[in-house]
């Protein structure tokens, strides 16, 4: 039990669909993250939130839209995706976005397939 849960675990969507990924952390952390994990590529940081405020956006296309309504929940809204967006999307949390020695705790991921 990592303390970070993600739903759904698997998602198949067409390019015209709109869907959302959900992440919830039960660790009392202040920072939450979205990562993209594609085959044969390093994990890519997409977004960083600290206390519900977005502090980093790593040049992610606008078809990915994050939302952090409170420090325990993080969403990734998806619309008009492309097949190359198929990947494992990982959510993580850490106690404090400014403390680089903190461990990040990862959820199990959502396996997204875009047809």
Partner 1 sequence: AQSVTQLGSHVSVSEGALVLLRCNYSSSVPPYLFWYVQYPNQGLQLLLKYTSAATLVKGINGFEAEFKKSETSFHLTKPSAHMSDAAEYFCAVILWGFSGTYKYIFGTGTRLKVLA
42 binds partner 1 (CB under 8 A): yes
3-state secondary structure of 63: coil
Residue choice 45, 60, 75, 95 for contact with partner 1 (CB under 8 A): 45
Nearer to partner 1, 18 or 26 (CB): 26
Of 13-21, 67-75, 77-85, 100-108, the segment contacting partner 1 by CB under 8 A is 100-108
What is Dmax (Cα atoms) for the chain?
Answer: 41
Residues 106, 79: Cα–Cα separation, whole Å? 24
Residue choice 13, 19, 20, 43 for contact with partner 1 (CB under 8 A): 43
Residues 32, 40: Cα–Cα separation, whole Å? 24
């Amino acid at each position: 039990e990592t303390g970070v849960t993600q739903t759904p675990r698997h998602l198949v969507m067409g390019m015209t669909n709109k869907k959302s990924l959900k992440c919830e952390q039960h660790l009392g952390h202040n920072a939450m993250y979205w990562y993209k994990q594609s085959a044969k590529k390093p994990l890519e940081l997409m977004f960083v939130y600290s206390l519900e405020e977005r502090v980093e956006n790593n040049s992610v296309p606008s078809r990915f839209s994050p939302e952090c309504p409170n420090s325990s929940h993080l969403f990734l809204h998806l619309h008009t995706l492309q097949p190359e967006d198929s990947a494992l999307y990982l959510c993580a949390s850490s106690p404090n976005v400014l403390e680089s020695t903190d461990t990040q705790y990862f959820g199990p991921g959502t396996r997204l397939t875009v047809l």
